[in-house]
Amino acid sequence: MLKRYQILLDDWLADYMKYRANTYGTSFSECVRVALCASYLLMVADQYPEYKPDIGFDDVNKLVKKFYTESHDIRKMDEALSKVYFEARKAVEYAWDKERNIDKNKSNG
């Protein structure tokens, strides 16, 4: 389920997101979602080296580049993005569980 939030972005970032949305034929929100998910995949893998996602930051870049340079098949892009979102969710849930356990141990200690 998607929730609506208002976010503030610097002009340069908003302009780039608009450019990317136009380039890939997606919405501004979709571009922000992909960027956040890719960033969290990168951060969680860096913060928790034992966590091995099924898709990495480089894979996300390759998927996007392949779509842009080769197929322009929206269905394939949607499938790829679904995988990115799913893997990012798993990564965030892993990190969140770890962090909650750390917080719980601090409270009990």
Using alpha carbons only, what angle is made at residue 39 by residues 33 and 44, rounded to the nearest 5 degrees? 125
- Which one, of 49, 43, 50, 56, lies nearest residue 87 by Cα? 56
pTM as predicted: 0.80
- Domain ranges in the chain? 33-108
Looking at residue 108, its pLDDT comes to 67
Residue 107 predicted with pLDDT over 80:
no
Residue 100 predicted with pLDDT over 70:
yes
The helix or strand, by DSSP H or E, that contains position 42, with its residue range, turns out to be helix 28-47
Q: Write the pLDDT tens digit of every residue in 50-85.
A: 999 888 778 877 877 777 676 667 777 788 888 889
